[in-house]
Structure 1
Amino acid sequence: MEPTGAADHRTDREADGEANGEARGKAGDEQAARWNGPAGNAWVEAQDVVDALFAPLEELLVEAVPAGHGGRVLDVGCGTGGTTVALARRLGAEGRCVGVDISGPMVEAARARAAREGAGASFVRADAQDHVFEPAAFDAVVSRFGVMFFEDPVRAFTNLRRAAKEGARLRFIVWRDIAENPFMTTAERAAAPLLPDLPERRPDTPGQFALSDADRVRRLLEESGWAGIDIRPVDPTCVLPEAELVPYFSRFGPVGIALRETDEPTRARVVDTVRAAFDPFVHGTEVRFTAACWQIGASASGG
């Protein structure tokens, strides 16, 4: 769906018709295959748990938008739409938030959520790196963990800059260094002796820690035409019910992917081993960890 004007009256399925042209052109792309397959379905199945887990980070994005002032916001890598809907509520009746994501399953879940909640939010299935947004259409561009997967970050952030009005704000949350986020790698470190083919984490490729280097992020944004760049650490505490811990690490990340193809005896050993490795994070009925992230802001000015 186009973000402004008469395009607001077009259906989501019409928008998908355009976006699917991009998707077909990227049929072999690893990210498209990942998020339109088991990984995307896992996020849909666990959306309530994930929303609650990362609620403190959602709040950092929502508070960046003036309450009740209307306007238009673009939510990049919107997933199942929790942040998009929260932003739409923040904007008020005169505002609108548009979520964009490459994952068909997650976009469908996001549309269903917005319909249930009567939110002023719409969604388009597309790759934000290449999608042709209406120029200068948005008052703000935000993302919670949705911009680390671009194949070409400069091209992507340049495209988002074109979609932003003069003076619009950019705010996004990404993970800091892998060493500062031990919770996120506990499963694979514990499972490695039992699953020797787990892929190696490479921070220079699209993925969870692709934007962990603050100096690199600053350069990327400057090259993409953003100004007034502000990068600051945030360290919220995230909480997960202990009962959801095994389903969580069995669905997500390299271990979750590997377990889909593992025989049952090996799976049972992996689950027992990994669960024990998480003991330092378990406090009674809760799992708690620090999410070491960057909160990054910039302005669409001087263009």
Structure 2
Amino acid sequence: MPMTEIANQDQSALWNGRSGAAWVDNRAVLDQMFVPLATFLTDRARDVAQGAPSGRLLDVGCGTGGATLALSDALGGHWALTGADISAPMIAEARMRAAHARRAVEFVCADVQTHAFAGEPFDLIVSRLGVMFFDDPVTAFANLRRAARPGARLHMLAWRGPSENPFMTVAERAAQPLLPDLARRVPGAPGQFGFADRARVEAILTSSGWTDVSLTPVQFDCTFALADLREYTTRLGPVGLALAQRTPAQRASIADALVEAYGPFIKDDEVRFTAACWHLSARAPALPA
């Protein structure tokens, strides 16, 4: 399926390049890390499904499809699920996973900010950490509202700030003296912590036409195997992009320093951390009585 017109050119280049490839290569680790987040979303989806035994669900920024497939398992065959992501490599992986699991889930390679979703409107729109990357988030959420049925629910998770998520910046802090060209995060810019500011996110949802807007702080205890830490810290995020420009010897030396910096988060053979997120909840306006 061809991609629609893309507004988010920088994000398209990022997720269709090295970052997208890194997520595909590490999708098992990332799915393991974020199991508690996927479970939270499936619980919200079950709540919605209690009052609607059938319907349509959209997973925004679905990546390699881990959360979408978990939602499919939770809702059963009476709900039609669609996952959307700007990354062609990740959508290709998601489609393969769905085929292997024999799940009738549709995966669309598209920029949700501009994509015209076909078919009946959605009854539920969810996202596991996939909505912080739009260059015009008001336009993106307005587009999602147009794709939603009147009264449809929205349940999404987004990162709170870096100060509340110290694990997520370990590699950057440790790499700063070693990688002088390491890209610095810009507060409020599209990216992992783009939705850290509660008031800004509430304004985005309200301005884009959603009602009953609520942001609730939630946190999750996440784990993954210590054996996967070196690959995780050297392939993903700003540090992974910067290391790709170094020689193998330089990468190995810097990787040793990075892994050592994670010491406070290591217990036995596991890496353990707390993910501090916002739960974004809203409703599409109902039709006038």
The normalised TM-score by structure 2 is 0.94
Q: Are the aligned partners of 1:95 and 1:120 in contact in 2 as well (CA < 8 Å)?
A: no
Match of 2:175 in 1: 191
The yes-or-no answer on 1:235 pairing with 2:219 is: yes
Cα deviation 1:133-160 (Å, max 9, x = unaligned): 2486100000011100001000000000
Match of 1:40 in 2: 20
Q: Are the aligned partners of 2:5 and 2:111 in contact in 1 as well (CA < 8 Å)?
A: yes
Residue from 247, 250, 264 that aligns with 2:234: 250
Take 1:38 and 1:108, find their aligned partners in 2: how far apart are those partners? 15
Q: Which amino acid aligns with 2:278?
A: W
Match of 1:121 in 2: 105
The yes-or-no answer on 1:22 pairing with 2:2 is: no
Q: Which amino acid aligns with 1:77?
A: G
Structure 1 runs, 4 residues or longer, greater than 4 Å off: none
- Secondary structure at the residue paired with 1:193? coil
1:302 Cα deviation (Å)?
A: 4.2
Q: Are the aligned partners of 1:100 and 1:128 in contact in 2 as well (CA < 8 Å)?
A: yes
Match of 1:61 in 2: 41
Take 1:120 and 1:61, find their aligned partners in 2: how far apart are those partners? 19
Take 2:43 and 2:235, find their aligned partners in 1: how far apart are those partners? 30
Q: Are the aligned partners of 2:188 and 2:197 in contact in 1 as well (CA < 8 Å)?
A: no
Identity of aligned residues (%): 49
Take 1:43 and 1:268, find their aligned partners in 2: how far apart are those partners? 20
Q: Are the aligned partners of 1:135 and 1:164 in contact in 2 as well (CA < 8 Å)?
A: no
Take 1:89 and 1:73, find their aligned partners in 2: how far apart are those partners? 13
Match of 1:3 in 2: none
Q: Unaligned stretches of 5+ in structure 2? A: none
Match of 2:194 in 1: 210
Residue from 136, 161, 184 that aligns with 1:152: 136
Match of 1:10 in 2: none
Cα deviation 1:157-212 (Å, max 9, x = unaligned): 00000001111100100000111111111101101111001011112210000001
Change (3 A) 1:135 1:158: farther
Take 1:241 and 1:140, find their aligned partners in 2: how far apart are those partners? 33
Cα deviation 1:270-302 (Å, max 9, x = unaligned): 111111110000001001000011111000124
Bigger relative CO (Cα 8 Å, ≥ 6 apart): 2
Q: Unaligned stretches of 5+ in structure 1? A: 1-15
Take 1:186 and 1:224, find their aligned partners in 2: how far apart are those partners? 35
Q: Are the aligned partners of 2:188 and 2:196 in contact in 1 as well (CA < 8 Å)?
A: no
Q: Are the aligned partners of 1:176 and 1:293 in contact in 2 as well (CA < 8 Å)?
A: yes
Cα deviation 1:226-260 (Å, max 9, x = unaligned): 01112111111100111111110111011111111
RMSD: 1.5
The yes-or-no answer on 1:52 pairing with 2:36 is: no
Q: Are the aligned partners of 1:89 and 1:120 in contact in 2 as well (CA < 8 Å)?
A: no
The yes-or-no answer on 1:102 pairing with 2:98 is: no
Q: Which amino acid aligns with 1:60?
A: F
- Secondary structure at the residue paired with 1:131? coil
- Secondary structure at the residue paired with 1:292? strand
Moved more, 257-266 or 156-165: 257-266
1:95 Cα deviation (Å)?
A: 1.3
| Count of aligned pairs | 283
